[in-house]
Amino acid sequence: MTYLVAADSDFPKRVKEIGYSGIDAIGDPCKGLDQIKLSTLNSIINSIDYDPDFMMTDESLVYHESKEDGPWMWIFPLVFLNAMANLDKSLIPSIIDKWLKTDEFQLPHMHNAKGDAQEYFDIIRNNCIRCVDKSWSMYLYVSL
């Protein structure tokens, strides 16, 4: 399962006690969303080159259990949150179009790529706005 979670900066310390049912209650499900898709979106919204290390460094991994199936949790960079939260609404359709044309959305199993890209984008942006407004962080939570 994959979730986006908007929460305070102490959230990683509480993740284990919250457990899966707590994550399910407070997070937004985003099955199929991963760091590769997020890095391509980051490169588009910030007009930078693709960064294969986006949210893949030891510093961005804020929680993990040493089990084969996780869970793992990464924190989003503040520059990403601010860029998404402050996007000019008129640019959103072209950003989603560019994102949709990347390899990550051209895979054979992506039967509803346009719908998935739009849904991911809306969930990400809404959470970014919430995080910026509340001075929170945003996390990508993954458990197999």
pTM listed for this prediction: 0.93
CATH number of the structural domain spanning residue 128: 3.40.1760
Residue 136: name the closest of 4, 2, 8 by CA.
8
How many domains does the chain divide into? Answer: 1
Q: Which two tokens stand for residue 81?
A: 């949150």
Banded pLDDT at 1 (limits 50, 70, 90) = very high
CA dist., res. 103 & res. 106, Å (int): 5
Q: Give the dihedral of Cα atoms 58, 64, 68, 70; nearest 10 deg.
A: -120
pLDDT single digits (tens) 87-144: 999 999 999 999 999 988 887 776 778 889 999 999 999 999 999 999 999 999 999 8
pLDDT single digits (tens) 14-65: 999 998 899 999 999 999 999 999 999 999 999 999 999 999 999 999 999 8
Domain span at 86: 2-142
pLDDT given for residue 78 in this prediction: 97
Distance of CA 67 to the CA centre of its chain: 22
Q: How many CA atoms lie within 13 A of 103 on its CB side?
A: 3
Q: How many CB atoms lie within 10 A of CB 19?
A: 11
